[in-house]
Structure 1
């Protein structure tokens, strides 16, 4: 059988342009993390030290170790790199083995009978990018760095939420593989369901040493075995598993996984094996035209879904540091927030097996971008061959995972071509269209016909329409964050919102760690350095000014209100779009996570702390959601009996019907109930029920608001929706009054007045502490207990100081 020798230890790193000092190197790893471990560079995540290490990405670096001498009884020995970042020459005792130029591929070299000093010499990715640019010509992009000219994680070059840390190194495992006669070079598993049975067709490619003696391959799955013989280097074995248990996304059923085992035999016995887990399910993408435009609805096992999604970026600017446990923890956070779809964004990487394994187990659907984002990509060599090679390898690598349900050609590049001035600048030069509408769909169709492909996000399905037309296909809603108020999310009903979001700073403890010694202010040097979006703080300020009177010079208040505004903005979008199911079939929040401590659109910050938005997602993405929306023409705040209809939407994504009695109250901000009613509401499974608010309950003016309450039949906390017809700055809130008491493992707050959006910032109690909920609005006399984990020394005074809520203007 094939034998494997890991090459993890014994590596050194040296810089040939410097002193030649050898440093111990970690493999997998990268130059930055090795220099950090040696104390030779500051931590680029702290303060403004990112700028102090910019030189690292512009130098040549060399990794070395001894390759073990001989000793194998096998005919062949291969040196295998699962990932090299990015442009490298591999030598053995000074003799070239090969050159590579793609972070997204693996590499294999025949080193049979060889030993000696193994050298991996990395050139600067900048040098490679500039050389390619010189050969193919300029191409426009959203950022000035040359990421579109090299097949590397684009956000290494910086983004509007990420640092510029251009890495190099052996970022995935490396090993020696010893084998004889033949080895399994590739297995392409086509997993389908037909008439209640699971069907697995394994297309097997082998590599031989010499000769063409017949080979046998035996496969097993779910207690079923099959065997096939082939003479050459390719063959197929097919299995049918009766009465298979279906794999479902979380919230729709269970996630049974089946072991698939394949063994290769020659005349003397087993020579190689391949094992993976898979799940049986069907997936379709319904893009049928209808009265509203062109749909974009995922259908799993025949069930049409409203996708409750988040966008995923690399969880660390240095991806080699992300462990299996860290992937699991972050994805468990996503699942606990009600997420059922994770979009792997195109400026990052094809994630590791650890990521997809966790998604398989947690029932998280994966939308996988090919790595193209926000730039015109040349289609000439050497890039075209690299793109095809990486696509073919990664499509096959990820095929076993039932969580993977969609391939997407790119992020925002058709939109950029049409709207961002690229088309005239290109003057007919290639820009990636041949990849997204030609090469990539062909690779998916040939290798993985069991999954749908879409050419881009956003993409309306045809050049006859604008690429980002909300009525057709996927839509990215960024005009709101960039230029408008978040209330404008309610002005249209896109078919599928694949990106939208609102910024907020990270948790207070994260900022304190990242900016040691700095007096925090919205415009302090470190805070501004950890804000990478163009005019990001200006947009935060303008977004706040539409709703709140913000006191100058009060950082703590600014921090609370910006985090609250993020909650309000995302809620405005998701509540509206979910209430319009099935016309709108998904929302994918930008973004779940961060790769370093930064002000961004994330729900979980760069230190892994859950921002208030994270807790709001738990409410917004729950199976049952109560919200208030306006339908029709006119202005709902103009007065009762005129204007638009005010409607309570009961969104039921559960498998059971939801029958409840709504309690509607028109309430004054001083706590008086001005009118109330208790209409019945019935929402069938996977539907939305609408109940019109009686005219006498529609709030008039800034002194009134609507409260809608309902019971959760699943036994959870009662559901509540609030409708305030005015901005907070115009509402005559009473001065908030509430009592605070310590509770077992938490804090209890009892309201004496209306208390709007009460938030306990638990990390102000202890950097390791976290709360179990985000902002909560209390009516007079209501009480809430906020659970706190990780608070070592509970203190009532500290608890009071960590509580924030909306206060009256002035």
Structure 2
């Protein structure tokens, strides 16, 4: 008989468990309809029983939910299928500590959000109505009990997330709320089968020249003893090429190779196309009837990680199709505290925002989840490389059971699940845990107990090598390649740079020359429309209650002001605070990205913290919790452009550096001018820039051009006239420049999709922004942080703002750094 899958997604109800507190029973006095997949919080929200935890101080008001037991239940009709020897209940994801019952008989217990479970239930089903119940215990209670049993271990936050296999950031992070979830977060289904089923299919893809090969490693599950098994056949097809094998009765594993004579390679976007090929594996019974099909899309590409020691240290260079990629990436956190709200369309929108910001890699950070296939499918199609952390972050983790076996099962399942995706280029063992062992005063607390090293240096690399030998593995981020080296060094492997945000000015970024920097970041508030939706304080201020509640970083607001003070004037009101802190966030990250990219090929990657947010919050994100692009997003797009022109200190002077991540040579004239703020040229140098593909070139600026006569009244401008690339250098900080008030002529005209706003500058104007969301919450603008020389023009496209007139562009909608500096000086 064919393999039959029936999802159990309807008719669910949610009630509080038997040992719930009176508070919980008061909030949920009777069963409420439940959505599966979903979670308790979203079900209670849909029922109108709790306030939105993302608004104001509501996070605190719903804190009781994570401390309660919960019960999900549905009734379904079932009839025996002719010939079905086996019926399994397959739970794709249960969050997290669950007991599963069919017709009131326990069939299994789970304790890992990050893996699936399969339970045989044929013997418990009866014709007609059947009942499925899933009882959830509190994740808090369970984690605390394991902690008490094994002994406490250090972590970065006051929650026992390191004692449970659950999304760590659910317990609160320095950008996220504490919303400890429970629920059926991935699909639940009945699977009926006979004789055999496909238990696991692993495609190992390789390519040499234009020739592709897929080695399918296939596990089958069978019924009955080996002597009585029926013969089965497997048939695989890739790109129209088919091969078939018979599986001996005594075997449960087999290999099947497909050679594809001519294939087009999959490339990161910007380096080539992303062709995807259909790949199927079919299970056939003795009569040749297809009883089950595995169906995915694959891409042909090679990937390797070069960490071969050189004279200076240890490089960290990703090669795709034997081309060294200087990574332009961003860290990815769960896009919502309730992951089932992130649809395929939302993944696509967010990841498109990444590619439109000229990013080519996202790092799925270790305090979140292994994302759904929708995420990786979108990355495959967009050409966005994925670096996947195993789920360990900012803590010491015990290596004993009940955790160890779950960790291994979780790792092996997810490595196998994600194998088909060509976008996946790297597995990483953990986030900052090895660094914690070295630098965070853990050793005295841990003593001779385990803390996770056995996972990162033994269990996980073995799992990757056994399950997917085609992809590289690295033990941690940061990590220098050996436990004999400090894990966070410029010369070796991966490093993180957090002293800049926490303690020092962003100009310190230039003191670092990492081989690859995997985390660095600077905070800014969310966009205006997002902020006003989420925080309804009156009056609104940086330190009003709601604003402080949506700032989870320790001393976050103080650090934003400390980082702003050396560069920009002190904000006089909330509007100016909002504008200047957003600008300073963009400035800090631009400064870092341009510096790191200019160090190519010594530095072969920079991955900013972070692309996205999970709720409305002041954070390091470029895209806020409502999906709106902050000024930082526009800065990333410019700083990560495939062809970057930047002015950087080199030796005792200044140089123009061209960075070319394109596939064709970049060459042409460069004009470097020192001029006054009113546009009068004081000195000029013309030269030629020749930058080979995938490289950088440096041109020294002569001293007479690079040396100012009046530092506070002059700027440097480098221009490539044939391509329009431009770079600026100021000799003093903005707050000390002798800005004139921004003198602008503004006109508007209708355009397809919105309104074009044309701005002509009559003075030097720095970081001109048009905040369209202040006009309409859903309005967007195509550009931001525009610098204009006197007499130059820029046109913005505004979509979603209706009939836009120049008079609507007041000093909060259209504003520049000039305004803040001049007003402060006056």
State the TM-score, normalizing by the size of structure 2. 0.95
> What SS class does the counterpart of residue 95 from structure 2 fall into?
coil
Q: Distance in 2 between matches of 1:325 and 1:309?
A: 21
Deviation at 1:725, TM superposition (A): 1.8
Residue 290 of structure 1: CA displacement?
2.2
Residue 251 (1) aligns with residue 270 (2): yes
Shift of 1:463: 1.9
Cα separation, partners in 2 of 1:196 and 1:600, compared to 1, 3 Å: same
1:747–1:799 CA contact under 8 A, matched in 2:
no
Whole-angstrom distance in 1 between the partners of 2:296 and 2:222: 23
Match of 1:7 in 2: 8
Distance 1:736 1:354 in 2: 46
Shift in Å, 1:195: 4.3
Call closer, same or farther: CA 1:551–1:274 in 2, change over 3 Å.
Answer: closer
Query: Where does residue 172 of structure 2 map in the other structure?
Result: 158
- 2:338 & 2:464 partners in 1: Cα distance? 29
Map 1:756-767 onto structure 2 (within 5 A). 756-767=766-777
- Structure 2 alignment gaps of length 5 or more: none
* Map of 2:159 onto structure 1: 145
Whole-Å separation in 1 of the counterparts to 2:795 and 2:671:
23
Q: CA deviation at 1:735?
A: 2.1
Q: Say yes or no: does 1:611 pair with 2:630.
A: yes
2:466 matches 1:413 = no
Aligned partner of 1:127 in structure 2 is 141
Residues 123-143 of structure 1 show CA distances to partners (whole Å, capped at 9, x for unaligned) of: 000011011101111000000
Mapped pair 1:437 → 2:446? no
Write the deviation string for residues 176-229 of structure 1: whole angstroms up to 9, x where unpaired.
111111110111111111343111111111111223222110101011111111
Match of 1:229 among 206, 227, 246: 246
Partner of 2:703: 695
Partner residue in 2 for 1:732: 738
Q: Give the Cα–Cα distance (whole angstroms) in 1 for the partners of residues 309 and 728 of structure 2.
A: 35
Further displaced range: 56-65 or 794-803 = 794-803
Give the C-alpha shift of residue 429 in structure 1: 1.1
CA offsets 1:652-671 (integer angstroms, 9 cap, x no match): 11111111111111011233
Give the distance between the partners of 1:686 and 1:800, measured in 2 at CA: 43
Deviates more, 1:108-117 or 1:505-514: 108-117
Aligned to 1:556: 575
Question: Aligned runs of 1:566-581 on 2, under 5 Å?
Answer: 566-581=585-600
Pick the aligned partner of 1:59 from 60, 68, 73: 68
Superposed CA deviations along residues 576-603 of structure 1, whole A, max 9, x for unmatched, are: 1111101000110100000000000000
RMSD, aligned CA: 1.1
- Aligned equivalents of 2:667, 2:218: Cα separation in 1: 53
1:176 to 174, 190, 204: 190
Q: Which residue of 2 aligns with 1:772?
A: 782
Measure the CA separation in 2 of the matches of 1:521 and 1:737.
Answer: 29
Q: Measure the CA separation in 1 of the matches of 2:537 and 2:488.
A: 45
- Asked if structure 2 preserves the Cα contact closer than 8 Å seen for 1:754 and 1:778, the reply is yes
Bigger mean CA deviation after superposition, 671-680 or 280-289: 671-680
- Please report how far the alpha carbon of residue 435 of structure 1 lies from its aligned counterpart in structure 2 after TM superposition: 0.1
Q: Secondary structure at the match of 2:304?
A: strand
State the distance in 2 between where 1:365 and 1:565 align.
29
Which structure 2 residues correspond to residues 669-688 of structure 1 after superposition, within 5 A? Answer: 669-688=677-696
Secondary structure of the 1:326 match is helix
Select between 416-425 and 161-170 the one with higher mean Cα deviation.
416-425
String of CA shifts for 1:420-453, please: whole Å, max 9, x gaps.
1111211121110000001000000111110000
* Higher alpha-carbon deviation: 68-77 or 94-103: 68-77
8 Å Cα contact 1:675-1:696 kept in structure 2: yes
Q: Alignment partner of 1:446: what SS? A: helix
Residue 59 (structure 2) aligned to one of 47, 50, 61? 50
1:157 Cα shift?
0.3
Cα distance in structure 2, aligned partners of 1:583 and 1:725: 27
1:590 aligned onto 2:609:
yes
**Shift of the alpha carbon at 1:85?**
0.4
Q: Is the 8 A contact 2:195 2:230 kept in 1?
A: no
Q: Which whole-Å CA distance do the structure 1 matches of 2:583 and 2:681 have between them?
A: 26
Is the contact between residue 624 and residue 712 of structure 1 (CA under 8 Å) also seen in structure 2? no
CA distance in 1, matches of 2:721, 2:422: 35
Q: Which deviates more, 316-325 or 262-271?
A: 262-271
The 5-angstrom pairing of residues 179-198 of structure 1 reads 179-198=193-212
Q: Give the secondary-structure state (helix, strand or coil) at the position aligned to 1:327.
A: helix
Q: Deviations over 1:605-630 (max 9, x none)?
A: 00000001111111111110000011
C-alpha distance in 2, partners of 1:529/1:195?
A: 56
- TM-score, normalization by structure 1: 0.97
Q: Deviations over 1:46-69 (max 9, x none)?
A: 001000000000000000011323
Change (3 A) 1:128 1:711: farther
What secondary structure does 1:601 align onto?
A: coil
Q: Give CA deviations for 1:2-46 in whole Å, capped at 9, x if unaligned.
A: 111111110000013326501000000000000000110000000
User: Shift in Å at residue 497 of structure 1?
Assistant: 0.7
Once the two structures are superposed, the pairs formed by residues 372-391 of structure 1 within 5 Å of their partners are 372-391=392-411
Q: Write the distance in 1 (CA, Å) between the matches of 2:56 and 2:538.
A: 8
1:279 CA drift (Å) = 0.5
Instruction: Supply the distance in 2 between the matched residues of 1:459 and 1:223 (Cα, whole angstroms).
Output: 43
- The DSSP-based 3-state class of the residue aligned with 1:470 is coil
Q: Is the 8 A contact 1:263 1:270 kept in 2?
A: yes
Match of 1:638 in 2: none
Aligned to 1:649: 657
CA distance in 1, matches of 2:692, 2:281: 45
Q: Is the 8 A contact 1:699 1:705 kept in 2?
A: no
Does the aligned pair in 1 maintain the 2:669–2:722 contact within 8 Å?
A: no
SS at match of 1:256: coil
**2:676 corresponding residue in structure 1:** 668
Q: Partners of 2:363 and 2:571 in 1: how far apart?
A: 38
Q: Distance in 1 between the 2:448 and 2:491 partners?
A: 29
> 1-side partners of 2:93 and 2:582: how far apart?
38
Q: Secondary structure at the match of 2:78?
A: coil
Q: Which residues of structure 1 form unaligned runs of 5+?
A: 633-643
2:490–2:515 Cα contact (<8 Å) kept: yes
CA distance in 1, matches of 2:782, 2:539: 29
Contact 1:412 1:457 in 2 (8 A): yes
Partners of 1:518 and 1:774 lie apart in 2 by 29
| Deviation sequence 1:474-533 (CA, Å, 0-9, x none) | 110111111111111111210001000110000001010001353221111111100000
Shift of 1:712: 5.8
- Give the length in aligned residue pairs: 794
The 5 A counterparts of 1:101-116 are 101-113=111-123, 114-115=125-126, 116=130
* Segment drifting more, 515-524 vs 724-733: 515-524
User: Alpha carbons of 1:334 and 1:712: their partners in 2 closer, same or farther (altered >3 Å)?
Assistant: farther
- Could you list the structure 1 runs, at least 4 aligned residues long, displaced by more than 4 angstroms after superposition: none
